[in-house]
Structure 1
């Protein structure tokens, strides 16, 4: 028997003797409950699903059983089925042998997360450094930097766990990671009539294999600009008009391994045209995915701050208007958003971030680049504008004529998916 103190004090009056050999009824009940939880895998999973990712990473060392449970792909998907980006990042400078990156936090109260400034997780044998090609659900597809396409080495990297995998060499970099950790590659086919062929790299086999038959693609299809949504990889035609009935884009059903066509016609989108405006022949300004939703934004003219955000129906039946946007509040706060002497608005849409459930989406917002090296977020619900960050002079020293760099960003989110 071990007792805490022989004299009565404030501490000893509040604490009961602790026995190492004969636990009391309450201790026995707690131990029994803990044993019950540990022995019930379903109950343990339900508890671990509510544990933050950083805690889960340390819990993997508790036992082999916990490690197997936490790293199971099914548990990874259940823990965060519809992840939302916590930050954006972009190449800050590409003048070095390895590019360095800057992060933009999406929550004003958070400090800027910097999981990495440059990618040095592996010594690339080509000595060309490493750069990011794609990001998807917390995993990054990376490749040798400043190396010829045929010589590039490719990697899948998890910046949260610091783990990576080296892929067997592929012939092109037009790839995309799926959340089940498959890498889809589109390469040139030897068949002249059907010039493109898909190959898939799987986490389970660690090998590349040919998928399906060679296929054709619309002219100007940008395979390097792809979006993973609804279990499919979508590619976009860089010159497709939203109003031309003959245009279509391609998407690839990952599980069924089948290429499909997605018509982009006037019938598939609810057009809202401003007064005294003709129907435009213009490409989409923004395409992106957030929390399981695929969005399209088409800004009809530089002279307007009013436009719509469209969302694709889950069954691909067409685009519908999800949000109406009025950016006049931004020009009120940041007057250099409007060109001097005119009403031309200058902004670059970086990302659309969905927050909350369908019935509680007051937190959803746009992330915009505006003149002066500023990144702001525009809230759809109350039209409020908040500055997220401002570039240092090195980043925004070289502008185009309208004082925008038109940076291209990647989404960052925590993930403990195995690679």
Structure 2
């Protein structure tokens, strides 16, 4: 049976076919690659992938469809996740990455920056030590094996291993990696590698020296040590937020830094002046930089949510609320009755949706609650049990899953 004339016209007109395919979601386009070599070539092209994300008809394509609830993946298990859309029933499997242990470092516009390990020892064995000079406290962590770093797109199941320049290894220690990617401005991404100068003698300096190396996917190369600066110990370089062309870092000190990636310059920014609190979320929501903190209380369910003003001069208090009463009510429900509060969140985040601003708290046994800040309503959620390492080290990280076709 011959194909209808209209179908032949579409198949023979690549411009018309492209216009039609641009209306389809990323998941469908991945499946349609097998239709023909022509479709495979078209859908896989860099130009089409960029047009698909930037097209007005796909305005919502860069919005997350799910949140990763833990950051470690131990095959054959999968990442636990919380869906944000009705059609997101599961995340793509990570079996395309042949690594024993995978850890998500950051998520940015659909790409994931990850580290992989051969082993992760028991917490009672090998340990590394972090010293906090502002408090005088020492905290010990289990030491995984030396990491390998890669960037991947779980939607297309593509990844690329990263290698580091070796020029600084003798005098500097590797501190963190951060991902910068804005497909609305460029199809290329950058990776900022943060190095800290080794402390070779006492006393420990109040502000050790840091430096940046910058990787560009456009040139597939690193530019070395263009920026060196003294920074506070309290800056969390291992959790960067890429927002409006700059990587921002949370700090428990009075000020922190943000790095303008395009112009390669470092700027300072203030932090909210609040004492005896714990950061629960630092990220972008609704086009603004948000910081949600939990005040020292029995259940740490008293929150202040701050928002950065546009000129970066200060933060203002956007929301202040206490969810202890709501939590006590939920804890009396039958399916919560066996739950003993551990005092630790696995994930806590602030986000904007069609229903308005909301806070999401997920606990280590899979119980969760979402609080709508617009109408003061609380929802009980059911989530998969989350790996305990996520609770120990990344309690305020919310890694977003965005379905895209972007090339690595």
Corresponding residue for residue 177 of structure 1: 179
Corresponding residue for residue 369 of structure 1: 362
How many equivalent pairs are there?
Answer: 350
Q: Please give the per-residue CA displacement for 1:190-239, whole angstroms capped at 9, x wherever unaligned.
A: 899972211111112222222522111112222112111111111222x3
Q: Please give the per-residue CA displacement for 1:71-128, whole angstroms capped at 9, x wherever unaligned.
A: 454653454578333222244878x6x5944323234855641323xx443445xxx5
Q: Please, which runs of 5 or more residues in structure 1 have no aligned partner?
A: 3-17, 241-246, 267-278, 337-343, 357-361
Q: What secondary structure, in the 3-state scheme, does the structure 1 residue paired with 2:328 have?
A: helix
- Matches of 1:212 and 1:288, distance apart in 2: 26
Corresponding residue for residue 25 of structure 2: 52
The yes-or-no answer on 1:225 pairing with 2:268 is: no
- Matches of 2:3 and 2:330, distance apart in 1: 66
Q: Tell me which of 148, 152, 156 is aligned to 2:147.
A: 152
- Matches of 1:112 and 1:37, distance apart in 2: 35
The yes-or-no answer on 1:317 pairing with 2:310 is: no
- Matches of 1:141 and 1:386, distance apart in 2: 31
Q: Tell me which of 41, 63, 66 is aligned to 1:84.
A: 63
Alpha-carbon contact 2:178-2:239 (below 8 Å) kept: no
Q: Which has the higher contact order (CA 8 A, sep 6+)?
A: 2
TM-score, normalised to structure 1's length?
0.68
- For the aligned residue pairs, the C-alpha RMSD in angstroms reads 4.3
Corresponding residue for residue 227 of structure 2: 213
- Matches of 1:81 and 1:391, distance apart in 2: 26
- Matches of 2:260 and 2:390, distance apart in 1: 41
Corresponding residue for residue 130 of structure 1: 102
281-290 vs 214-223, greater mean Cα deviation: 281-290
Deviation at 1:136, TM superposition (A): 1.9
Q: Please give the per-residue CA displacement for 1:118-145, whole angstroms capped at 9, x wherever unaligned.
A: x443445xxx543322222221112231
| Structure holding more strand per residue | 2
Alpha-carbon contact 1:88-1:105 (below 8 Å) kept: yes
Corresponding residue for residue 329 of structure 2: 332
Corresponding residue for residue 123 of structure 2: none
Closer/same/farther in 2, CA of residues 155 and 215 from structure 1, 3 Å limit: same
- Matches of 2:12 and 2:401, distance apart in 1: 37
Q: Please, which runs of 5 or more residues in structure 2 have no aligned partner?
A: 120-142, 182-187, 201-206, 334-340
Deviation at 1:369, TM superposition (A): 2.7
- Matches of 2:101 and 2:246, distance apart in 1: 31
- Matches of 2:145 and 2:264, distance apart in 1: 25
Q: What secondary structure, in the 3-state scheme, does the structure 1 residue paired with 2:45 have?
A: helix
293-302 vs 322-331, greater mean Cα deviation: 322-331
- Matches of 1:151 and 1:298, distance apart in 2: 32
TM-score, normalised to structure 2's length?
0.69
Q: What secondary structure, in the 3-state scheme, does the structure 2 residue paired with 1:298 have?
A: strand
